[in-house]
Amino acid sequence: MAFTALASMPAVGDTVSLSSASSAALDAPDYVAKYAPDGLATNDASVLLGQATILNWLGQSPISFHRIYVDITGSVVVGLWLSHVLALAANADSRAFDGDDFVFTMSARDCEAATGITRAQQVSCRTRLAELGFLTEAGGQRKTPTYRLHMALVARHLLKTSEPLASAMSDRQAFPTSRPVRVK
């Protein structure tokens, strides 16, 4: 009985109606009747685990980012960190910019909550981005550091990485009857 709730949870790839899933999570009597049919108490560990799993699944945003960030940083984790900071920049007030630089603070705890990147991985991400010239630490020994993301340099790397694709597209236009050209 301990795995009843988990056994009936949707599997990866299953199609699930969010309206029915959210109503199951929010309508406790129906949920308990479905997952604890033997009249178990509503605080039974397996029932609570099932409820918590559904709430976690529905309450978290998927993490996705543009693949080109991996190309310009050389790492999936660094690309994810950069993507998160660029999303912050996209939603930032104009006062968060100093020329071409995005100036921001971000605690390790906030970053891990948003991305799943651990504190140690964040240090590696910042080190790699600093090596590329994308990031500098602008603040002193504050509890939450202040960083500068050099947006113009990031943009130059994005453009440079896109040159082979642009060339392939140009070749395709010059010879419209030729076969498609694959890049990378």
Q: Give the pLDDT of the chain (184 residues) as one tens digit per residue.
A: 344 444 454 544 444 444 444 444 445 555 555 555 555 555 678 888 888 888 777 777 778 889 999 999 999 999 999 999 999 999 999 999 999 999 999 999 999 999 999 999 999 999 999 999 999 997 666 688 899 999 999 999 999 999 999 998 888 776 666 566 677 6
Q: What is the pLDDT of residue 154?
A: 97
| 151/134 Cα distance (integer angstroms) | 7
CA atoms within 13 A on the CB side of 173: 6
Tell me how many degrees the CA angle 148-135-121 measures, rounded to the nearest 5. 115
Of the candidate CATH numbers 1.10.3720.10, 3.20.20.100, 3.40.50.300, 1.10.10.10, the domain formed by 68-163 belongs to 1.10.10.10
| 135/103 Cα distance (integer angstroms) | 10
Structure token pair of residue 153? 């340099």
Q: What is the pLDDT of residue 3?
A: 40
Q: What is the pLDDT of residue 169?
A: 87
| 139/137 Cα distance (integer angstroms) | 6
Query: With 0-12 CB in 10 A as exposed, 13-18 as middle and 19+ as buried, what is 104?
Result: middle
- Domain residues of the chain, as ranges? 17-59, 68-163
Using alpha carbons, select from 181, 110, 102 the residue that is nearest to residue 134.
Answer: 102
Residues 6+ apart with CB under 8 A from 125: 75, 77, 78, 81, 82, 117
Q: What is the pLDDT of residue 48?
A: 82
